[in-house]
Amino acid sequence: MIYSQLRGIGHALPGNPVSNEVLAGRLAELGIETSDQWIRERTGITQRYLADPTTTTSMLAAEAGREALAHAGLAASDIDLVIVATSTPDIIFPSTACLVQKRLGIHQGPAFDIQAVCSGFLYALATADLYIRAGKATNALVVGAEVFSRLLDWRDRSTCVLFGDGAGAVVLRAESQPGILAHRLEARGEFENILRAAGGVHGGAIQGHPFLTMEGQAVFKMAVESLESSARQVLAEAGIAPEDLGLLIPHQANMRILQMTAKRLGIPMERVVVAVDRHANTSAASVPLAMHLAHQEGRLLPGQTLLLQGVGGGFTWGSLALRLAPDFA
């Protein structure tokens, strides 16, 4: 049997962190009232990274990808599949994955983007796993990357304080031991209106509303429900009891969502990776950035089981269970 084994992790965060206080000051200049206290209490966010106007998604994705390749001990010539999850591509086409392939000097295999908003990294990772298990790829680079700040309406305080920019990347390698144990992706397009950026390009002009809009409470409720049910299904499929799970690494949108999901599953917060406080919500980048943080903090251990979870616009969600290799470092 062929399995996908996690062999490398990388990250990229643009510039310096912007604290809630600094952001509140900038918004005050626009006549928008918010506070560190509101943002902290409602979301757990204390800061975010915001890309400057010259930084693109493919730049962040390539930086994260380069670090993941180095961690895996692989060269660009070893990679035969590139998937980038993003909702903020550099340009309409070619795909951000093709631009990353070019930036990293990868000259073989397919490269394509996946658009599933905040579930994008889970969709990309599950897709790469299917390629590897089908024998169609040996070393896959899977990236979640966003400059989500470009989609924000800075006059809408209910959304603009919540998001940040960044990229996270992993390398999956075909091996004889698992690796990825189980995954499940879901979408319910009938709820497309609760979280969207409903603008498009038509005849050289933007048509519609090109900024992110969200019905926060509807998204919150669906996120908690879908994360719990999806976790239960995938953990059962992987043969892992929630109390035996090593680490839960969910999408980082709101500290309260993380706490409620963990409580419903009976998983103590010490076994949940929290990165929303320092990265805010980086959409498709949030799960690999949280994984990278856990790795930096020495929390990813050989043989450990992880449950990764994404949820967001579409409405989409997904979970993936994996076991780190006995020699993972």
Q: Is residue 287 at the binding interface for ligand UT7, with CB under 6 A as the rule? A: no
Under DSSP, the state recorded for 123 is H
Strand 195-202 relative to strand 205-214, pairing = antiparallel
Q: How far is the CB of 274 from ligand UT7 (least distance, A)?
A: 14
Give the nearest distance from C-beta 169 to ligand UT7 in angstroms: 19
**Angle at CA of residue 20, ends 14 and 21, nearest 5°:** 120
Q: In what order do the strands lie in the sheet with 305-312?
A: 180-187, 316-323, 305-312, 247-250
Handedness of CA 184, 263, 303, 71 (dihedral sign): positive
Per annotation, catalytic residue among 20, 139, 254, 281: 281
Strands 205-214 and 247-250: unpaired
Q: Is 223 in the site for ligand UT7 (CB under 6 A)?
A: yes
The nearer residue to ligand UT7, 107 or 263, going by C-beta atoms, is 263
Contact present, 173 and 66 (Cβ < 8 Å): no
| Stretch of 37-45, 122-130, 199-207, 318-326 lying at the interface with ligand UT7 (CB under 6 A) | 37-45
Active site residue 251: yes
243/36 Cα distance (integer angstroms): 35
Considering only 36, 38, 154, 225, the residue that binds ligand UT7 (CB under 6 A) is 38
Q: How far is the CB of 225 from ligand UT7 (least distance, A)?
A: 12
Nearer to ligand UT7, 3 or 123 (CB): 123
Give residue for tokens 């144990």: 181
| 118 a catalytic residue | yes
Using Cβ positions, the residue closest to ligand UT7 within the complex turns out to be: 216
What lies within 8 Å, CB to CB, of 205 at 6+ separation is: none
Contact present, 287 and 121 (Cβ < 8 Å) = yes
Question: d(Cα 311, Cα 119) in Å, to the nearest integer?
Answer: 5
- Which of 11, 71, 183, 251 is the catalytic position? 251
281 as an active site residue: the answer is yes
Distance set, CA 17 to CA 85, 214, 281, 315 (Å): 23, 24, 13, 29
213 lies in the site for ligand UT7, by CB under 6 A: no
The CA distance from 113 to 143, in Å, is: 9
Closest to ligand UT7 by CB, 89 vs 312, is 312
> Taking CB under 6 A as the criterion, which residues in 104-133 touch ligand UT7?
118
Q: Which three-class secondary structure state does DSSP give residue 185?
A: strand
Partnered with residue 136 across adjacent β-strands are none
34 binds ligand UT7 (CB under 6 A): yes
**What character string, x for contact with ligand UT7 (CB under 6 A) and - otherwise, covers 48-87?**
----------------------------------------
By the rule CB under 6 A, 257 interacts with ligand UT7: yes
Distance CA 45, CA 36 (A): 9
**Smallest gap, in angstroms, from Cβ of residue 253 to ligand UT7?**
3
Q: Least Å distance between CB 162 and ligand UT7?
A: 6
For ligand UT7, the closer of residues 118 and 325 by Cβ is: 118
Which residue from 281, 282, 305, 309 is in contact with ligand UT7, where contact means CB under 6 A? 281
d(CA 208, CA 16): 33
Answer yes or no whether residue 231 interacts with ligand UT7 by CB under 6 A. no
Report the run of H or E that residue 325 belongs to, with start and end.
Answer: none
Among 4, 5, 20, 43, binds ligand UT7 (CB under 6 A): 43
Q: Where on the chain is the footprint of ligand UT7 (CB under 6 A)?
A: 34, 38, 42-43, 118, 157-158, 161, 195, 216-217, 219-220, 223, 253-254, 257, 281, 311-312
| Residues annotated as catalytic (active site), given as ranges | 118, 251, 281
